[in-house]
């Protein structure tokens, strides 16, 4: 059973004489992600409970799965656009909440050789926030360049690497990406 909330807002600020300003915000909140065990899963859970199987066996993907293996509690994006005449400035931010990776477990003993009290603890994967920005200028004259747009942008301004996880390439590809800071330049003309 999955329960959550999605929020969205777009707001155009009143005209203050400084240009058009638009605000955007979208968020998703995962309240619960409960996976009931099937017949086979329940049999394994019962065997661990009855000590037929050792309690060191980890049976994953059953029970509450919120914040585990790529299911963050919060995700949101926000943006601000300012436009005045031929100039447009855009800022965009993206946040993905932290999760836990259950494919990483501690050693069965601690550094002193004592049994580890929590061999199935989960590896924390940090939250991630990136920002993009761009500025564009549209040529407005009566020449062949009329309507041509020049745009310069920077993606992942702070050059944030994805948080470490025990997944392909060392991060959750469904939540994060490994593209560092990128500079873009675009010339656009409609004919």
List per-residue pLDDT tens for the chain, 191 residues long.
Answer: 899 999 999 999 998 889 999 999 999 999 999 988 888 888 888 888 888 888 777 677 788 889 888 899 999 999 999 999 999 999 999 999 999 888 775 555 555 555 544 544 678 899 999 999 999 999 988 788 888 999 999 999 999 999 999 888 999 999 999 999 999 999 998 87
User: CB neighbours of 43 closer than 8 A, spacing ≥ 6?
Assistant: none
First-to-last C-alpha distance (Å) of the chain: 52
pLDDT for the residue numbered 127: 96
Number of domains within the chain: 1
Phi, psi at residue 180, to the nearest 5°? -75, -160
The pTM is what?
Answer: 0.80
In a domain, 48, yes or no: no
In a domain, 136, yes or no: yes
Rounded alpha-carbon distances, angstroms, from residue 55 to 35, 101, 115, 121, 122 = 20, 19, 13, 13, 16
pLDDT for the residue numbered 117: 47
In a domain, 162, yes or no: yes
In a domain, 56, yes or no: no
pLDDT for the residue numbered 119: 44
Please compute, for residue 138, the number of CA atoms within 13 A of its CA located in the half-sphere on the CB side: 12
In a domain, 127, yes or no: yes
pLDDT for the residue numbered 108: 54
In a domain, 46, yes or no: no
In a domain, 49, yes or no: no
Range of the domain at 7: 2-36+67-188
Q: pLDDT tens digits, residue range 7-52?
A: 999 999 998 889 999 999 999 999 999 988 888 888 888 888 888 8
pLDDT for the residue numbered 140: 87
Using left for φ > 0, alpha for ψ between -120 and 50, and beta otherwise, residue 185 falls in beta
CA 43 to chain centre: 35
In a domain, 59, yes or no: no
């Amino acid at each position: 059973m999955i329960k959550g909330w999605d929020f969205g807002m777009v707001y155009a600020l009143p005209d203050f004489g400084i240009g058009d300003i638009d605000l955007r915000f979208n968020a998703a909140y995962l309240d619960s992600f409960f996976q009931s065990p099937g017949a086979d899963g329940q049999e394994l859970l019962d065997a661990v409970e009855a000590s037929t199987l050792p309690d060191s066996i980890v049976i994953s993907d059953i029970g509450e799965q919120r914040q585990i293996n790529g299911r963050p509690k919060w995700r949101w994006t926000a943006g601000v656009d300012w436009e005045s005449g031929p100039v447009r400035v855009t800022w965009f931010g993206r946040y993905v909440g932290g999760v836990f990776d259950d494919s990483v477990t501690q050693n069965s003993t601690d550094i002193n050789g004592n049994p580890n009290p929590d061999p199935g603890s989960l590896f924390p994967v940090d939250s991630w926030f990136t920002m993009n920005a761009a500025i564009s200028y549209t040529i407005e004259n009566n020449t062949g360049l009329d309507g041509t747009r020049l745009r310069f942008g920077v993606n992942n301004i702070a050059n944030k690497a994805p948080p470490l996880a025990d997944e392909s390439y060392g991060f959750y590809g469904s939540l994060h990406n490994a593209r560092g800071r990128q500079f873009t330049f675009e010339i656009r003309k409609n004919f």
